[in-house]
Amino acid sequence: MSANPNSLLETPDAGPRADRPGPPLWLLFELTYRCPLHCVFCYNPTDFSRVGAELETEDWLRVLHEARALGSVQLGLSGGEPLVREDLEIIVAEAHSLGYYTNLITSGVGLNEARIQALKAGGLDHIQLSFQDSTRQMNDFLSSTRTFELKSKVAALIKRYDYPMVLNVVLHRLNIDHVEQILELAEQLGADYVELANTQYYGWAARNRDQLLPSRDQLRRAEEATQRFRDKPGQRMRIFFVVPDYFERRPKPCMNGLGSIFLTITPDGTALPCHAARMLPGIEFPSVRSSSVDSVWYDSPGFNHFRGDSWMKEPCRSCPERHKDFGGCRCQAYMLTGDAANADPVCDLSPYHHLVTDAVARADGARPPAEQPLIFRDHR
């Protein structure tokens, strides 16, 4: 799964924000929280093992139909590891026949010839292969051993079935110094696109933030190494480098504003306006088990809560940029300030901005921050 929700969004035309919102153009199915990996930077909720039973195949298919009728057009299939679901092929085929652009976001674990053949036949449009391994496995990857062999096999399959080879690598303090090696390996795998996505701090990544946040120096060196790679003669991979928002002075327009284009369905059927929103206190999010997608999107208090700007506090409420960045990320505001209606502290106009700059200053410190061990994603 992608650890970088905001890289998913390229702001399609969502229509006017006033009055009735536009349709949920972007539908993300988190089909399962089950995953063979244990990534320290996963944004799944840390209590994922307590989430209820997964939706049945027919539930997913019903949601596909209902959302498509409203105008949903992009379908992301993620998790957990979506290949764990044996009905993935059925869901893809139905989505394709309904006119969705289907995008599988996978670690590649479980992708074999039979499955990719069935997915291709069902009309899967796109595969994003992630190097989302745990740090232990990242070391393994960097030393070109077992993981690399698995990824090579999967990469070859993806190419053989005529998909562009799109690689997503999550960067953090412990691997960011290896950007050059990572790009060389990506090149060996025949990647067409590489996204170097710095970790964003949700779920497990938030728990591990101080160990994962790179220093400014590390970030600068990684950007320089990326540029050197881009400038190499004959270089044909397209490389995207996503800077962590902690180093910015204005927040990201998170999800293009909650409830404007993005609809996530979690494994148990809870509908969320962003992957992480379940953490927001005092807001009840609806379930597609008991509500139609239409009523989830247009009528539920959970989805209407952060629409428009009446929920905003100062400095957002009177800010001329409030319709550009929507005050940033509600989850980050909640995690760092305790109030989801505050400005995202990434913004230097936020009275809490020091919480972000302090974390960066600690990351810049000579001593590695906190002797606390990394917490690997696991059932707990």
* Binding residues vs other proteins (CB under 8 A): 7-10, 12-13, 23, 25-26, 70-71, 73-74, 76, 99, 101, 103, 125-126, 128, 162-164, 166
CB closer to other proteins, 103 vs 147: 103
CB closer to other proteins, 73 vs 349: 73
CB of 121 to other proteins, least distance (A): 16
CB of 348 to other proteins, least distance (A): 29
CB of 362 to other proteins, least distance (A): 33
CB closer to other proteins, 25 vs 212: 25
CB closer to other proteins, 148 vs 303: 303
Nearest to 377 by CA among 133, 80, 46, 124: 46
CB closer to other proteins, 101 vs 311: 101
CB of 289 to other proteins, least distance (A): 25
- Residue 180 tokens read as 């050059």
Token look-up 């059932």 returns: 379
CB of 99 to other proteins, least distance (A): 6
CB of 162 to other proteins, least distance (A): 8
CB closer to other proteins, 46 vs 72: 72
CB closer to other proteins, 141 vs 163: 163
CB of 283 to other proteins, least distance (A): 26
C-alpha 352/C-alpha 337 separation (Å) is: 7
- Residue 331 tokens read as 């989850």
Cβ within 8 Å of residue 134, ≥6 positions away: 37, 38, 39, 40, 376, 377
CB of 170 to other proteins, least distance (A): 16
CB of 298 to other proteins, least distance (A): 14
CB closer to other proteins, 24 vs 269: 24
CB of 111 to other proteins, least distance (A): 17
For the chain, the three-class secondary structure string (H helix, E strand, C coil) is: CCCCHHHHCCCCCCCCCCCCCCCCCEEEEECCCCCCCCCCCCCCCCCHHHCCCCCCHHHHHHHHHHHHHHCCCEEEEECCCHHHCCCHHHHHHHHHHHCCEEEEEECCCCCCHHHHHHHHHHCCCEEEEEECCCHHHHHHHHCCCHHHHHHHHHHHHHHHCCCCCEEEEEECCCCHHHHHHHHHHHHHCCCCEEEEEECCCCHHHHHCHHHHCCCHHHHHHHHHHHHHHHHCCCCCCEEEEECCHHHCCCCCCHHHCCCCCEEEECCCCEEECCCCHHHCCCCCCCECCCCCHHHHHHCCHHHHCCCCCCCCCCCCCCCCCHHHHCCCCHHHHHHHHCCCCCCCCCCCCCCCHHHHHHHHHHHHCCCCCCCCCCCCCCCC
- Residue 181 tokens read as 């090696």
Residue 36 and residue 107 in contact, taking contact as beta carbons nearer than 8 Å = yes
